[in-house]
Amino acid sequence: MTLTEKQKEKVDSLLKEMTLDEKIGQMNLESTSILGAFGIPLAEIRKMAKDGRLTREEIEEMMDNTDCDYHEDEVREGRLGAIIASDPRRANETQRIAVEESRLKIPLIFGYDVIHGMRTVYPIALAEAGSFDDELFEETARMAAKESRAYGVMWDFAPMIDVARDARWGRVSEGPGEDPYLASRFAERKIRGLQNDRSDTQNYVAACTKHYVAYGACEGGRDYNTTSMAVSQLYNVYLPPFRAAMAEGAASAMASFNDLNGVPCTANSYTLRDILKDELALGGFAVSDANGIKECIVHGYAEDSADAVIKSVNAGLDMDMGSHLYSKELKSAVESGAVSLSAIDDAVRRILSVKVWLGLFEHPYVPEEVIESYEKGLPAEHIALARKAAQESIVLLKNENSVLPLNRTQKICLVGSLAGNAEEIVGSWAMGWKKRDCVSVLDGFKNAGAKVQYFPCCGPEGEMNEDELSSALEYGDVIVAVVGETRDMSGEASSKADITLPGRQREMLERLLETGKPVVAVLMNGRPLALKWESEKIPAIVEAWQLGIQMGNAVADVLLGDVAPSGRLASSFPMVNGQCPVYYNHPNTGRPAGMSRFSSKYIDEETFILYPFGYGLSYTEFKYSDLCVDEKADQLEMSVMLKNIGSANGTEVAQLYIRDVAASLVRPVKELKGYKRITLKAGEEKKVSFSLKKQDMGFYDNNGKYVLEDGLFRIFVGGNSRDTLMQEITVEF
């Protein structure tokens, strides 16, 4: 995000005119309604009050501090600069107060969690990352930006780019998986899609990369839990996507809830100032996550509100999301000298820069005709893109005896309460969707003209309907069982100790298998699951994730063979809970798991990863041969022959990995360094080439310094992180 000289002058001239109160007002982000903390509608507040999720004291405090419901007075007095909202007409009304009634007429910025689509919800990030389709990452983000603006949002709290290796963590659903390289490509394309179409202010938004930083490394996969790691681990695993996003000019970043090596990321000057602002050159501002400043007290890092505010703002945290403490404490902190005016000016300059860059001073409102167009329906091209994204995110995990693809002459017995559900398909953090836009799996099969009878039977929660199951056992030639999780079982505050299929779904599968008919399990889930039993018993398994509003059509497209499955896993699947965390890019250890008891393994369970990163099947088969590696002056050039040796057309994701065999810090057994989606007709063979800059073969040491070390490397190419061809080469840098 860069400003023109004229824009910089505008920011500086505004800053000169602002009072301290007005400056602090810009550093304050509130939810839509004072009553509905973080935009929780009043009706939900009432429910929360009735079922005890809000204490009487909390309600009383809310009511005591509520003098109006949409912050009108704060906005009019310049005490509020940003609001979490997504109602375009409400946004226009509140914006009008800022732009016409406040003293300096500084527009508000409206932010929202548009993680995988605003109204046209597309696959959760963990699914979309598995498409390994960089252009798709960018196209869907561009669509999300346009729809955000149409709903009054010009600041998306996205992309979520936390590398995550522990499937027990519910937020693994929101991000691009376990690999730093894939996460970095995902991050850079999402920033381009969200920010780069500046042909019209209605086409781009400010991105807010989150959650900065290493939030996905929470101990035990327990959300909000502590994180600790070597500097080299931070730099090699968790920082890369943020580095990539900042290189693309990401406008903002959101500090994460976790403490990192003992310091909360909300008030961590090492990560916020030294790395994010100095080394990665964040052009805009850093915002806390919800209530993060106040939580510095709970962490045990600040003694009281004043201390939390002083530590946060001095660490480089520019905007307070929802704790109200900057409003409450910052002025006295400046007056006491604990916080310098220059620190305030730096924060406000960053915030104003983003507002100027967004064109808010010239175009502060959502045009009425844009609002009306979305009230009528979604653009056809958005629906089509959502369907394409869903198709490319589907991963075929198992297909014994080619049970799949199905055909339209077969009588399909569709079971599982998730199959008929048109809401669970949108996954976590879907905020602006409308049920009328959603296509359930059942709808999808009907739309495709398949012979299908539907029996809910059971789902992730609740009991089995024995009558429905008895009827299901009698019907059809093939059984398609949609099983998995509800959308609330992943996302924020959804860590699980047991990531096997919840409820009585496995029991249902057992009963279905007793029919002797082919059973296809279609997984609808927001995290890798522990699938040892299913992988042994179910002949066909399709990982369909939560694919957004077009899920039903995409699942039918793939299961009926109209579209070949081409998705791969962006996160590894364990066999059992106890294996977590599992990830492919692990160090070798001195005793890698092997035959000997005295090796790094479990004595009560297999140690291998059930389905590794990059894994996925097709309706055909691909063969790799003739891996060649050539060393050029500043890069390696690889080629491999890839042949479709099956009887159907298909798309393969060819993947390039390296291993630095011996280095000053032990390196992972494999590191992804490239990938390509290749579509081949049956029998077709193609040479696939990769190039790898030698500069990209290094790593960061424990001083955060990037090093290139001469020595032996292994180069791998294959269709996943486990099954690869390999060549060795000694490289001198």
The number of CA neighbours under 13 Å toward the Cβ of 259 is 13
Q: Tell me the closest approach of the beta carbon of residue 396 to ligand GLC, in angstroms.
A: 31
Residue 15 or 290: which CB sits closer to ligand GLC?
Answer: 290
Examine the residue annotation and report whether 289 is marked as an active-site residue of this protein: yes
Residue 235 or 429: which CB sits closer to ligand GLC?
Answer: 429
Q: How much of the chain is helix, strand and coil, in % rounded to 5?
A: 35, 20, 45
Residue 74 or 492: which CB sits closer to ligand GLC?
Answer: 492
DSSP bridge pairs for 519: 479
> In the structure encoding, which two tokens stand for residue 633, read together?
């002056």
Query: Which one-letter DSSP state was computed for residue 336?
Result: T
654-693 residues near ligand GLC, rule: CB under 6 A: none
Whole-angstrom Cα distance, residue 255 to residue 213? 7
Q: At what angle do helices 180-195 and 240-247 cross, to 10 degrees?
A: 30
Q: Tell me the closest approach of the beta carbon of residue 689 to ligand GLC, in angstroms.
A: 39
Whole-angstrom Cα distance, residue 730 to residue 4? 47
Question: Which H or E run contains 13?
Answer: helix 5-17
Residue 111 or 552: which CB sits closer to ligand GLC?
Answer: 111
Residue among 226, 204, 202 at smallest CA distance from 216: 226
Q: CA torsion 609→563→687→130, rounded to 10°?
A: -40
Q: Tell me the closest approach of the beta carbon of residue 320 to ligand GLC, in angstroms.
A: 13
Position among 15, 62, 290, 297 found at the interface with ligand GLC (CB under 6 A): 290
Q: At what angle do helices 368-376 and 134-150 cross, to 10 degrees?
A: 110
Decide: is 289 part of the binding site for ligand GLC (CB under 6 A).
yes
Contact pattern from residue 104 through residue 123 relative to ligand GLC, giving x for each residue in contact according to CB under 6 A and a dash for the rest: ---------x----------
Q: Tell me the closest approach of the beta carbon of residue 431 to ligand GLC, in angstroms.
A: 9
Position among 30, 166, 443, 492 found at the interface with ligand GLC (CB under 6 A): 492
Residue 405 DSSP SS3: coil
Q: Tell me the closest approach of the beta carbon of residue 303 to ligand GLC, in angstroms.
A: 24
User: How many of the chain's residues bind ligand GLC (CB under 6 A)?
Assistant: 7
Whole-angstrom Cα distance, residue 224 to residue 227? 9
Q: Tell me the closest approach of the beta carbon of residue 36 to ligand GLC, in angstroms.
A: 12
Decide: is 179 part of the binding site for ligand GLC (CB under 6 A).
no
Q: Which of 156, 289, 443, 660 is catalytic?
A: 289
Position among 185, 210, 350, 388 found at the interface with ligand GLC (CB under 6 A): 210
Residue 114 or 441: which CB sits closer to ligand GLC?
Answer: 114
Decide: is 38 part of the binding site for ligand GLC (CB under 6 A).
yes
Question: Which H or E run contains 728?
Answer: strand 724-731
Residue 591 DSSP SS3: coil
Decide: is 157 part of the binding site for ligand GLC (CB under 6 A).
yes
Q: Tell me the closest approach of the beta carbon of residue 226 to ligand GLC, in angstroms.
A: 16
Q: What is the CA radius of gyration of the chain?
A: 26
Residue 247 or 290: which CB sits closer to ligand GLC?
Answer: 290
Residue 168 or 210: which CB sits closer to ligand GLC?
Answer: 210
Whole-angstrom Cα distance, residue 50 to residue 287? 33
Decide: is 156 part of the binding site for ligand GLC (CB under 6 A).
no
Decide: is 527 part of the binding site for ligand GLC (CB under 6 A).
no
Whole-angstrom Cα distance, residue 579 to residue 608? 9
Which residues are identified as catalytic?
289
List residues near ligand GLC by CB under 6 A.
38, 113, 157, 210, 289-290, 492
